[in-house]
Chain A
Amino acid sequence: MANLNMADALNLALMQEMEKDGDVIVFGEDVGVDGGVFRITDGLLDRFGERRVIDTPVAETAIAGFAIGMAAYGLKPVGEMQFTGFSYQGFHQMESHAARLRWRSRGRYPISMVLRMPYGAGVHALEHHSESREVYYAHTPGLKMVIPSTPRNARALLVSAIRDPDPVIFFEPKAIYRAFREEVPEEEETLPIGQSRTARQGSDLTMISYGAMLHRTLEAAERLADEDGAEAEVIDLLSLSPLDHERFTQSARNTGRVVIVHEAHRSYGPAGEIMARLIEESFYYLEAPIRRVTGFDTIVPMFAREQDYLPDVERILEATRAAMND
Chain B
Amino acid sequence: MPRKQVRLEHSVEYLSVMDKRGRVDEKLAPKIDNERLLEMHRTMLLSRRLDEQMLILQRQGRIGTFAPAIGQEGCQVGAMAALSRRDWFVPAFRETSAMLWRGFEPTNLLLYNAGYNEGGAIPEDSHDLPIAIPVASQLPYAVGLAYGTDYRDTDEIVITFFGDGATSEGDFHEAMNFASVFKTPIVFLCQNNHWAISMPRRRQSESKTLAQKALAYGMPALQIDGNDVFAVYAAVEEAAERARAGKGPMMIEAITYRMSVHTTADDPGKYRDEEEVEKWQEWDPILRLQKYLKAKKHLTDQQIDELEEEIAKQVNEAWEKADKQMQELDDPSVIFDHLYEQLPEYLKAQRQAFEQRLKHGG
Contact = CB atoms under 8 A, between A and B. Distances in A.
Interface of A: 25, 51, 54, 56-57, 59, 61-62, 64-75, 77, 89, 92-93, 96-97, 101-110, 141-142, 144, 165-166, 194, 242-243, 245-246
Contacts of A62: 140, 143, 171, 174-175, 177-178
A57 B177 contact: yes
A56 B175 CA distance: 12
B144 A68 contact: yes
Interface in B131-153: 131-132, 134, 137-149, 151-152
Contacts of A102: 338-341
Given A65-B141, A65-B144, A101-B130, A109 B122 contact: yes
A142 B344 CA distance: 11
A92 B144 CA distance: 16
Contacts of A72: 129, 141, 144-145, 148
B142 to A, nearest CB: 6
9 contacts: A57-B181, A65-B137, A67-B144, A69-B146, A75-B151, A96-B134, A96-B137, A108-B126, A142-B340
A59 B148 contact: no
A245 B130 CA distance: 35
A69 B140 contact: yes
A68 B140 contact: yes
B337 interface: yes
B19 interface: no
| Shortest beta-carbon contacts, A-B, top 8 | A69-B144, A65-B140, A73-B148, A242-B344, A69-B141, A62-B174, A106-B121, A108-B122
B223 to A, nearest CB: 25
Contacts of B141: 65-66, 68-69, 72, 93, 97
B332 interface: no
B120 interface: yes
A213 B98 CA distance: 52
Nearest to A98: B141
B120 A106 contact: yes
B134 A66 contact: no
Nearest to B181: A57
Given A68-B141, A97-B141, A74 B151 contact: no
B338 A107 contact: yes
Interface string B255-269: 000000000000000
Given A62-B178, A242-B344, A243-B346, A109 B129 contact: yes
B123 interface: yes
A66 B144 contact: yes
Given A102-B338, A103-B338, A70 B148 contact: yes
B144 A77 contact: yes
A70 B120 CA distance: 21
Contacts of A68: 140-141, 144
A110 to B, nearest CB: 6
Contacts of A108: 121-124, 126, 130
B26 interface: no
Contact of A245 (B122, B338, B346): B346
Interface string B302-327: 00000000000000000000000000
A59 B178 CA distance: 9
A147 to B, nearest CB: 17
A254 to B, nearest CB: 20
Interface string B325-353: 00000000000011111001111000000
Contact of B171 (A65, A71, A74, A101): A65
A96 B174 CA distance: 17
B161 to A, nearest CB: 15
B58 to A, nearest CB: 21
Contacts of B118: 106
B346 A70 contact: no
A320 to B, nearest CB: 28
B246 interface: no
Among A56, A65, A166: residue with most chain B CB under 10 A: A65
B102 to A, nearest CB: 13
B170 interface: yes
A165 B338 CA distance: 12
A59 B131 CA distance: 24
A49 to B, nearest CB: 12
Contacts of B147: 66, 69-70, 73
A101 B344 CA distance: 18
B338 to A, nearest CB: 5
Given A57-B178, A74-B148, 11 more contacts: A56-B181, A61-B171, A65-B137, A66-B140, A69-B141, A72-B144, A105-B122, A105-B130, A108-B130, A110-B341, A166-B341
